[in-house]
Amino acid sequence: MRSQTEKAWPVVGGPVGEPGEEAPPPVVELEGVSKTYGDVVALAGAGIVVRRGEMLAIVGPSGSGKSTMLNIMGTLDRPSAGTVRIDGHTVDALSDRQLSALRARTIGFVFQAFHLAAGVPALDAVADGLLYSGLPRGERRDLAERALRGVGLGARLHNEPHQLSGGEKQRVAIARAVLGDPPLLLADEPTGALDSRAGEVVMELLHTLHRAGTTVVVITHDRDIAASLPREVRIKDGRIEHDSAARNEPGTATGTAVGKAAVERVGA
């Protein structure tokens, strides 16, 4: 099923597999994407393809346009020019309602600031990850409990944010993001508000999710973190300066375990 859609959309401007090799289908496709705010050019003709099961870093200094790229990949913002396809859907053609539905089922977000509401226990916060998916509350909470156990917070189900450390908060946020097993996980500076030790734990969790098959895109300004990921895309002044996938064959070590619920396997 995926291979059909893959064939239907020729990949332009991104890494391509060996001829004849069945590369995993793309989750994110950006073609000549530009974004301007008035006179300010945030993105200038960026093109990138992220295939299912990949893990990559988009790295760049502050103001380089990496946050704009995350917003566009996450369909939170629309490009001024260029084409964006997320999980096979051309974003230009979708209404705001359809984009919301796309986000609800396809994209998980992890933010630097965690975005956990004060006074809400971890279990409910995570269960809200599927609030807009149409799943009944009981099932959402069951999934949330498993997801929290999966990120090692089985003992923290009923703790409120102020009772959790920064690293624990980010793990709650990650559990919320991957609750519905979305094909794409976007992490915006996931370690930006954490000390290095907590940051390592969070990065290890993202690696585990990746090994379990989730596509993980990490936006960071930290070159060390970027260098530790399988693929590194450097961005500067709104342009992609360097993409390590141009040298490394994409999708070689990935895509094997795709198809099973990531959360379950992380928890196992």
SS3 content of the chain, % helix, strand, coil (to 5): 40, 25, 40
In the shown chain, the binding pattern of residues 177 to 216 toward another protein, with x for contact by CB under 8 A and - for none, equals ----x-x---------------------------------
Residue located via tokens 């793309």: 26
Interface with another protein by CB under 8 A: which range of 73-81, 142-150, 220-228, 235-243? 73-81
- What whole-number distance in Å separates Cα of residue 103 and Cα of residue 249? 29
- What whole-number distance in Å separates Cα of residue 163 and Cα of residue 110? 20
Beta bridge partners of 46: 33
Residue located via tokens 């200094």: 61
Site for another protein in 106-125 (CB under 8 A): 106-107, 109, 111, 113, 115, 117-120
In the bound complex, what is the minimum distance in angstroms from residue 22's beta carbon to another protein?
16
Site for another protein in 137-176 (CB under 8 A): 137, 176
Applying CB under 8 A, the site for another protein has a residue count of 46
Site for another protein in 75-94 (CB under 8 A): 76-77, 87-89, 94
- What whole-number distance in Å separates Cα of residue 85 and Cα of residue 27? 8
Contact between 40 and another protein by CB under 8 A: the answer reads no
CB-nearer residue toward another protein: 13 or 184: 184
Q: Please say whether the beta carbons of 54 and 185 come within 8 A.
A: no
CB-nearer residue toward another protein: 172 or 244: 172
Q: Please say whether the beta carbons of 67 and 185 come within 8 A.
A: no
Contact between 131 and another protein by CB under 8 A: the answer reads yes
Member of 100, 163, 165, 252 binding another protein (CB under 8 A): 100
Contact between 257 and another protein by CB under 8 A: the answer reads no
- What whole-number distance in Å separates Cα of residue 70 and Cα of residue 48? 12
In the bound complex, what is the minimum distance in angstroms from residue 101's beta carbon to another protein?
4
Three-state SS at 234: strand
CB-nearer residue toward another protein: 4 or 196: 4
CB-nearer residue toward another protein: 16 or 258: 258
**Which stretches of 108-195 are DSSP H helices?**
122-127, 137-150, 166-178
- What whole-number distance in Å separates Cα of residue 186 and Cα of residue 218? 6
Interface with another protein by CB under 8 A: which range of 15-23, 135-143, 230-238, 240-248? 135-143
For residues 212, 214, 219, 222, the Cα torsion angle rounded to the nearest 10 degrees is: 10
CB-nearer residue toward another protein: 135 or 157: 135
Residue 137, Cβ density class (10 Å: 0-12 exposed, 13-18 middle, ≥19 buried): exposed
Q: Please say whether the beta carbons of 51 and 96 come within 8 A.
A: no
The residues binding another protein (CB under 8 A) are 1-2, 4-5, 71, 74, 76-77, 87-89, 94, 96-107, 109, 111, 113, 115, 117-120, 128-129, 131-137, 176, 181, 183, 258-259
